[in-house]
Amino acid sequence: MPSPLGHALGAVAAGCLIAARRRGRTPEAAARRGVGRESTPFDGLRTLSPRLLIFAASGVLPDADFLLGWHSRYTHSIGAALAVVVIARYASRVASWRMAVAIGAAYSSHVILDWLGTDTTPPIGIMALWPVTTDYYQSDLYWFPAIWRTYQAGFWVHNIAAAVWETLVLGPIAAAAWWWTQSGPTEDGRGDQAYP
C-alpha cells in the first residue's frame, strides 16, 4: 500500500480534476487577479494552494484508522468517501457541491491506490465496498509496493524506493491535473485572457 506521499499525490490529481473550472473566473475574480497584466499558468497557484493542501490531507486521512487499530476497514470504503462528501458540503458552509465532491474524490483516491497496492498485513486488502459488504478486496496488479511499517534490515532503502516509485508514477499525473486546471479555455471560452 502506498506511502502518505503517494496518497497525497493521487489525491491532488483527483481533487484538481473534479474541482477545477479550467480557469473560469467571474469578472470580480479577474479584477482581483489583476486586469490588464499578463497572466501566467502560475496565477492560479495562489488560489489553488489551499485546495491542494485540502486534497492532499483528504487523501491521507483514511490512514488515521491506524490510531484506532483497525486499518483498511471502514475508512477505506465508498461509504466513508460518501460521508466525507456530505461532511465537506455541510460542515464547511463555504464549500460548493463541486468542491465537496472533489474532496470526496481526493479521499476516494486513497481507496483506489490501496486497492492497487501490495498488502502484506492480514487481513489482506481493503473493505472497499462497506457498508454494502465487509469483504476485503485487493487488485492483482500490485502497482505499488507495500510500505514497511516495522523497522527491519533494509527498512529505509525499501520505503524510500517505494516513495520514489510512487512519485514517478503519480507525480506527473498530479502535475498534469494541476496544469490542466491552469491552462486552456476558461468557462466563457476566452482562453487565458483576463476579463476587460
Question: Could you tell me if residue 193 is inside a domain?
Answer: no
Cα 48 to Cα 178: distance, rounded to the nearest angstrom = 9
What domain range includes position 75?
4-22+43-146+156-182
- Is 106 within 8 Å of 55 (Cβ atoms)? yes
Q: What average pLDDT does the segment 38-56 reach?
A: 70
Question: Could you tell me if residue 69 is inside a domain?
Answer: yes
Q: What average pLDDT does the segment 136-144 reach?
A: 92
Question: Could you tell me if residue 113 is inside a domain?
Answer: yes
Q: What percent of the chain has pLDDT over 90?
A: 54
Question: Could you tell me if residue 138 is inside a domain?
Answer: yes
Query: What pLDDT does 21 receive?
Result: 63
Task: Give the total number of structural domains in the chain.
Answer: 1
Predicted confidence (pLDDT) per residue in 70-87, tens digit: 888 999 999 999 999 999
Q: What is the pTM of this model?
A: 0.79
Tell me how far the alpha carbon of residue 2 is from its chain's centroid: 13
Question: Could you tell me if residue 151 is inside a domain?
Answer: no
Residue 61 has pLDDT above 90, yes or no: yes
- Is 57 within 8 Å of 67 (Cβ atoms)? no
Q: Which amino acid is at 110?
A: H
Which grid cell is 60? Answer: 491521507
Question: Could you tell me if residue 191 is inside a domain?
Answer: no
Question: Could you tell me if residue 80 is inside a domain?
Answer: yes
Q: Name the average pLDDT for the chain.
A: 82
Which grid cell is 99? Answer: 468542491
> How many degrees, rounded to 5, is the angle at CA 113 between CA 107 and CA 114?
95
Which grid cell is 18? Answer: 473534479
**What is the H or E stretch that residue 54 is in?**
helix 43-60
Residue 52 has pLDDT above 70, yes or no: yes
191 vs 2: which has the higher pLDDT: 2
Question: Could you tell me if residue 79 is inside a domain?
Answer: yes
